[in-house]
Copies of this chain bind each other. A is one copy, B any other.
Amino acid sequence: MDRIPLEKKVLSENDRVAARLRDRFREHGILCLNLISSPGAGKTTLLELTLGRLPKEARVAVLTGDIQTDNDARRLARFGFPARQITTGGACHLDARMVERALADWQLENLDLLIIENVGNLVCPSSYDLGEAAKIVLLSVPEGEDKPLKYPAIFLKSELLVLNKIDLLPYVSFDMARAREHARSIHPGMEILEVSCTTGEGLDQWIQWIKKRGEILRAETAKLPTLGR
């Protein structure tokens, strides 16, 4: 109870920093995506496959949040694109200030796409704007199709739902139609992709989604009177 006023203050301070980041991303025409899921839903593996499919000359970078280790950044750095770990040291989410600090010495004018992999947590990251153009929620099939109903905030705030690990559908009880229905009962226009990082199914559509989203962002940015490149 005592926590609410301070939480509001922390969030409005976060919103100010996030707005500053969003302006910078727009100024440089950078598509920033904030990837959120439960622990182990497959964010890092999806990013590995994404980076592996991009041309070497793509102007992409990755920030990856983790409570304790830098395993993920090391996994992602192997693809030759800039990858930096934000170790939160216990905190259950990334906040805008952490992102701002991590970007302090980066040349943003050299980027078109920045993917932020949040801490594995389906709850807290949904409250913290990182200046992204879009939040993306990953839900893996073994987690069950009820998750949109039980963790509605992140499904409401995400533009895209990536249903991951569809190769496990034969081995678990997961009703794909109901999962889609639950997600859209929370967020009626939500885009949904089905993906398997094991078989590669759906990855082309995922890459296409990112490209299309970047074009939408740059079209919007070009129209802004004070921004544009």
Contacts and interface: CB of A to CB of B under 8 A. Distances in A.
Interface string A13-55: 1000000000000000000000000111100000000000000
Interface string A141-173: 011101101111100000000000101100110
Interface residues of A, number: 40
Contacts of A10: 2-3
Contacts of A188: none
A66 B146 CA distance: 12
A152 B10 CA distance: 26
Contacts of A96: none
Chain multiplicity (copies): 2
A173 to B, nearest CB: 8
Contacts of A143: 38-41
A40 B153 contact: no
A71 B145 CA distance: 13
A225 interface: no
A122 interface: yes
A110 interface: no
A80 B142 CA distance: 28
A165 B172 CA distance: 10
A67 interface: yes
Contact of A39 (B90, B124, B147, B167): B147
- The 5 A-B pairs of least Cβ separation, nearest first, read A40-B143, A92-B123, A142-B142, A38-B39, A38-B38
5 contacts: A39-B147, A68-B152, A69-B149, A123-B124, A167-B171
Interface of A: 2-3, 6-7, 9-10, 13, 38-41, 66-69, 71, 90, 92, 119-124, 140, 142-144, 146-147, 149-153, 165, 167-168, 171-172
